[in-house]
């Protein structure tokens, strides 16, 4: 009995050790996190610029949302550095600093900038909560996890050298553990979001009937294109879009867990298309960008590499086809074929 328990304990600790070793030795999802960084930075810049001329009305000290009202609306333990002073100068400094920080975060990344971006983004969102969309809620959570990640291993100046340095580090380290767990939590939170959103939709009568998109397309605030409203008039198209949305939202957690890369890729690409549609037809640009960034973390680094290989091979084939020599008078088709496969030399 004791021998069996001892063996089980040994097995358990060995497995735990293997998990810890995997967590501690190699950083995962570096590409996805880097894309998320770019998306969050870009969306924050767009968010600030969308109402740049109305900035004092929406976020300033003399805003319709007065500083005392905004302070009263702050959730417990929340803050906004916009609310530290009634001075217009302070507001202008902080607002423009938020734009610059977001820009720097988008380009350079890194833990320190992520922390500063988190402070600025939370401050901006807490200053006026009326104009937030669902994507801001997700970004506020993900940016906290991003503080622990290496977000600049790709798509940033010096990324190649950074990756080389990471490869040289053979020993398991605490920052690697934190990066991997934070990346896992980003993916987990995104999966929970989609599953919850899919669940709430599937329980709704309008979604079951396939008419939800018709009504959404007619709400004045989201009616960016008459073509979209016109398309949703069609019972088949409307129902297909409703069911497709629910299906890909509910499927995401399972796609992430799937051992088949094409399932993950297909589901992620479908979600990206959904958000591109939301950006184009509903005008929710920042929301769409943030969601696309979050979706990108659902793919593994190997998925991106295989996509890159596929892209290069398709590009290569296309360029070969484009530059293939045309038959000329001095060359018969047979000679050309022989030259191509090397049979003439045999």
Partner 1 sequence: MRVLARSRESEGAPRTASGPLPLRVRISALTALAAAAVYCLCCLAYNAPDSPAKDRVKGPVTALMNPVFWQDWQLFGPTPGNSDDLIYLRVRMTLPGSGQTVESSPVEIEQAIDRSPRDFRLNPTKLPGVLLAFDADANRYAGIANKLQKLPAAEREAARKRLDEQFKPNFEEMQRFFSVQAKTLYPGARIGAVQATFKTRPIVPFSARYAVPKPSQHEHGVLATSWLTYIPGVAE
Cα-to-chain-centroid distance, residue 35? 6
* 86: DSSP letter: -
Q: Compare residues 247 and 332 and give the one whose CB is closer to partner 1.
A: 247
Phi/psi region, residue 110 (left: phi>0; alpha: psi -120 to 50; beta: rest), is left
Closest separation in Å from C-beta 8 to partner 1: 19
**Hunting for tokens 């089980």 — which residue is that?**
8
Instruction: Count CB neighbours of 73 within 10 A.
Output: 14
Q: Compare residues 74 and 336 and give the one whose CB is closer to partner 1.
A: 74
Q: Compare residues 11 and 209 and give the one whose CB is closer to partner 1.
A: 209
Q: Compare residues 240 and 337 and give the one whose CB is closer to partner 1.
A: 240
Closest separation in Å from C-beta 20 to partner 1: 5
Residue 215 tokens read as 């009504």
Q: Compare residues 111 and 163 and give the one whose CB is closer to partner 1.
A: 163
Closest separation in Å from C-beta 84 to partner 1: 18
* Helical pair 174-202 and 134-146, crossing angle rounded to 10 deg: 160
Closest separation in Å from C-beta 338 to partner 1: 33
Closest separation in Å from C-beta 47 to partner 1: 8
């Amino acid at each position: 009995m004791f021998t069996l328990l001892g063996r089980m304990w040994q097995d358990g600790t060995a497995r735990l050790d293997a998990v810890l070793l995997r967590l501690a030795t190699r950083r995962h999802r570096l590409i996805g996190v880097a894309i998320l960084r770019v998306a969050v930075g870009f969306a924050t810049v767009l968010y600030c610029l969308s109402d740049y001329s109305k900035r004092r009305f929406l976020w300033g000290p003399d805003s319709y949302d007065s500083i005392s009202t905004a302070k009263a609306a702050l959730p417990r333990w929340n803050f906004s550095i916009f609310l530290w002073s009634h001075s217009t100068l302070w507001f202008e400094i902080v607002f423009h600093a938020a734009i610059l920080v977001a820009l720097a975060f988008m380009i350079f990344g890194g833990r320190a900038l992520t922390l500063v971006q988190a402070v600025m983004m939370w401050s901006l969102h807490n200053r006026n909560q009326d104009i937030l969309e669902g994507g801001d809620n997700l970004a506020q959570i993900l940016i906290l996890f991003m503080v622990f990640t290496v977000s600049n291993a790709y798509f940033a100046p010096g990324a190649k050298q950074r990756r080389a340095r990471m490869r040289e580090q053979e020993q398991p380290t605490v920052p690697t553990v934190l990066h991997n767990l934070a990346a896992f939590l980003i993916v987990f939170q995104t999966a929970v979001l989609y599953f919850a959103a899919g669940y709430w939709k599937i329980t709704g009568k309008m979604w079951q009937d396939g008419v939800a998109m018709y009504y959404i397309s007619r709400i004045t605030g989201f009616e960016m294109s008459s073509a979209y409203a016109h398309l949703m008039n069609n019972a088949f198209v409307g129902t297909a879009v409703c069911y497709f949305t629910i299906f890909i939202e509910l499927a995401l957690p399972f796609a992430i867990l799937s051992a088949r890369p094409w399932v993950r890729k297909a589901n992620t690409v479908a979600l990206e298309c959904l958000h591109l549609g939301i950006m184009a037809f509903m005008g929710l640009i920042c929301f769409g960008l943030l969601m696309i960034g979050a979706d990108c973390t659902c793919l593994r680094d190997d998925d991106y590499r295989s996509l890159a290989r596929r892209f290069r091979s398709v590009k290569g084939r296309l360029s070969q086809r484009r530059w293939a020599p045309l038959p000329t008078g001095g060359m018969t088709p047979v000679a050309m074929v022989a030259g191509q496969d090397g049979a003439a030399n045999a």
